[in-house]
Amino acid sequence: MSEIDSKVIVITGCSSGIGLETAITCAKNNMFVFACVRNPYKIFELKKRIEDEKLTEIKIIEMDVSKDISIKNGIHQILNFTNHIDILFNNAGRMILGSLEDLSDNELSGQLDTDLRGVIILTKNILPIMRKNNSGLIINMSSVAGRIGFPLSSAYCISKFGIEGLSQALRRELMPKNINVCLIEAGVVDTKFFVNTPDAIASKHSAYSEETKVMRKVLNNLMKNIKEKESLGSKSSDVSEKVLEIIKENGKEFRYSIGNDAEAMIAALESCNDDQSKMDVAINNIMKEWM
């Protein structure tokens, strides 16, 4: 094994969107990138960017974070190339739209296995490598949905609230080991994320069918508006630049918000001082603007 001298970053969810853009950005900034993808048949866009931009500091790793064995195999592949991992960006994620009542057990576990349990298991397996080298930085992709509960998004909110709690606990737990933990709280990002968000199978004919249609309309309008208004939401490149900023300052802050929409909602949350009735009104008003 010939050792990699530059900083090594492991990024999940790299077949498109934020993960892909961050992998490219980090490779351009003198890091060696292990770009993890769940489906090896969906790496055309990533491979094309690597080839077009003549990047040699990226290695594609097959890793499905919802499967423990895939995580272990992926780490084994990485350790064939290097004995150190300096940065972990837990980015892979999914979302399913629907009421808690409508979600099947499989739909709920699919959400949690990817967005929460997968982060826990991957981080748990990478920590001994970072600890051995007495340094590390873990960046977890969260969302305003990790601070604010949205209707018809309970499964996603559960996973992101979990990420917030995990990150806060780990930051304090790992500080003595010289390992920093922080998170990014994004609003809407111009990717295929919402386009690829399915409705719960049962929601079509359920007691929540009308509410689900309204929420779907909100998501569609958000994606339409983000393409027309630069002031709303963020682009994948904005997030990748934020990751670069975090790396340069070694996760000095705990929370990094991104996007005017995210900042507006977090400001509304903080102004309500834990008064849930005020928060309900504030968030409902913001969602009406999105419709």
Please check whether residue 32 is in contact with residue 8, taking contact to mean a CB–CB distance below 8 angstroms: yes
In the prediction, which pLDDT does 13 show? 96
Contacts of 183 (CB under 8 A, 6+ apart): 139, 140, 141, 142, 146, 163, 164, 167, 254, 255, 256
When pLDDT is averaged across residues 102-123 and rounded to a whole number, the result is 96
pLDDT tens by residue, 102-111: 999 999 999 9
Share of the chain above pLDDT 70, in %: 91
- Side-chain-side CA neighbours of 109 within 13 Å: the count stands at 4
160 counts as catalytic: yes
**Full 3-state SS string of the chain:** CCCCCCEEEEECCCCCHHHHHHHHHHHHCCEEEEEEECCHHHCHHHHHHHHHCCCCCEEEEECCCCCHHHHHHHHHHHHCCCCCCCEEEECCCCCCECCCCCCCHHHHHHHHHHHHHHHHHHHHHHHHHHHHCCCEEEEEEEEHHHCCCCCCCHHHHHHHHHHHHHHHHHHHHHHHHCEEEEEEEECCECCCCCCCCCECHHHHHCCCHHHHHHHHHHHHHHHHHHHHCCCCCECHHHHHHHHHHHHHCCCCCCEEEECHHHHHHHHHHHHCCCCHHHHHHHHHHHHHHHC
Considering the candidates 59, 160, 235, 242, report the single residue annotated as catalytic: 160
In the prediction, which pLDDT does 1 show? 44
Please check whether residue 172 is in contact with residue 127, taking contact to mean a CB–CB distance below 8 angstroms: no
Q: Pairing relation of β-strands 58-62 and 255-258?
A: unpaired
- The answer to whether the Cα torsion of 205, 208, 211, 217 is positive or negative is negative
Share of the chain above pLDDT 90, in %: 67
pLDDT tens by residue, 150-178: 888 999 999 999 999 999 999 999 999 99
Cβ neighbours around 12 below 10 Å, total: 27
In the prediction, which pLDDT does 172 show? 98
Task: Match domain 7-290 to its CATH number in 1.10.486.10, 3.40.50.720, 3.40.50.300, 3.90.550.10.
Answer: 3.40.50.720
Contacts of 176 (CB under 8 A, 6+ apart): none
Considering the candidates 156, 208, 235, 242, report the single residue annotated as catalytic: 156
Domain boundaries of the chain, sorted by first residue: 7-290
When pLDDT is averaged across residues 7-14 and rounded to a whole number, the result is 98
List phi, psi (to 5°) of 97. -100, 130
pLDDT tens by residue, 231-259: 566 889 999 999 999 999 999 999 999 98
pLDDT-derived band at 35 (thresholds 50, 70, 90) equals very high
Q: Rounded mean pLDDT of the chain?
A: 90
How far apart are the C-alpha atoms of 286 and 143, rounded to whole Å? 16
- The answer to whether the Cα torsion of 115, 117, 118, 120 is positive or negative is positive
156 counts as catalytic: yes
pLDDT tens by residue, 177-223: 999 999 999 988 877 766 667 777 777 778 988 888 887 777 777 66
In the prediction, which pLDDT does 283 show? 75
Answer with the residue of higher pLDDT: 171 or 291: 171
- Side-chain-side CA neighbours of 99 within 13 Å: the count stands at 15
Phi-psi category of residue 273: left, alpha or beta, with phi > 0 → left and psi -120 to 50 → alpha = left
When pLDDT is averaged across residues 76-102 and rounded to a whole number, the result is 95
- Apex 266 CA angle, 262 and 268, nearest 5: 120
